[in-house]
Amino acid sequence: MASTSAAELSTPNTFLGVSLASPFDYAAAREYTAYTQGPAIWITTAYVVTIFGIQWYMKDRKPMQLTLSLRLWNLWLAMFSIAGCLVTSYALLREIGTYGLVSSYTNCRDFFEGFTGLWTWWFCMSKFAELGDTYFIVLRKKPLMFLHWYHHVATLNYGLMSYVDNTAFNTWIVWLNFSVHAVMYTYYFLAACRIRLPAWFAQCLTTSQITQFLITLAILAHVGVRLLVGSHVDTTSMTYVYCLLMEISYVVLFGNFFYHSYIAGGGKKFQKEKQMKQQNGEAVKSE
C-alpha cells in the first residue's frame, strides 16, 4: 500500500517520477523512455547543428577557458560513473552466479529491476547529459573529431531504443560503459585540474574503450548464433542489428584514433609529451 501511494505521488511518467518511485517501476521507465525517443531525434539533430554553429561562431574569437565549469562537469560525471560501476558490478556478478554467464546477456532478469534497474535507466538517460561534453570542446576551441560527436549521437539513440525493446545484453553494455567512464571522466577531471598523467595512461584508456567494444562484439556474435538457430534472446532484430553495426563502427573509429595517436610516427601523444618534457628541461636550464 505504501509503495503504491509513493508511486502515485511521484507520478511515474516523468523523469522525477520514475526516479522516485518505490519500488522502481521498470514498466513505467520503459514507457517514459519510449516517449523520449521522438524528441531524442530532434535533440541530437539540434546538437549536431549547434556544435558546428558554435565552432563557426568561435572561429575568429578567443577560446573560452571555462576552467571551473569543466572541472565540475567532469567531476559529477566521474562520481556518477563510479557509483554506477559499483552498483552494476555487484548486480552482474550476482546475475552470473544465479542464472549463469549466457543467461546474463540473453534474459532480462533481476539486473533491470530494483536499485540496479534504476541505475540502468539512469545510464540511458545520462546519455542526454553527456552531449554537454562537446559544447566544452567547441567553446574552448579544441579539435572536434567525427568520432566524438558520432559516438554521442549513436549511443544516445541506441540506449533509448534498446531500453524500450527490453534488451538483455545491455547488462554487459551498461556495466562496461560505466566502468570505462569511471576512469575516463576521472582522467578528464584531473586534466581539467592541470594534473597531467603520462601518455601511456591515455593509451591504456583508449585500449580499455576498444576492449569494451570487442567484448560486446563477442557477446553479439553468440547472440547472433542463438537468434539464427531459434534460441530465446530478449531483444529485437532491429536493436540487435543497430548494436552490431554501432559496435563495429566504434572498433574501426577508435582503432584508427589509437593508431594515429600512439603508433604512427611514434604516436602523436607520445611525441607531444616528449616535446613538453624537452621544453620544461630547457626552461629549467635557463633558470
> What residues are labeled active site?
151
Vertex 190 angle, CA 187 and 193, to 5°: 150
Is residue 28 a contact partner of residue 12, using CB atoms and an 8 Å limit? yes
- At position 49, the amino acid (one-letter code) is V
Write the CB contacts of 282 (distance below 8 Å, at least 6 apart in sequence): none
Q: Give the H/E segment covering residue 132.
A: helix 132-139
**Using CA atoms, how far apart are residues 94 and 24, in angstroms rounded to an integer?**
19
Written as nine digits, the cell of 168 is 538483455
Residue carrying C-alpha cell 598523467:
197
**Using CA atoms, how far apart are residues 177 and 85, in angstroms rounded to an integer?**
8
**Residue 100: helix, strand or coil by DSSP?**
coil
Written as nine digits, the cell of 8 is 502515485
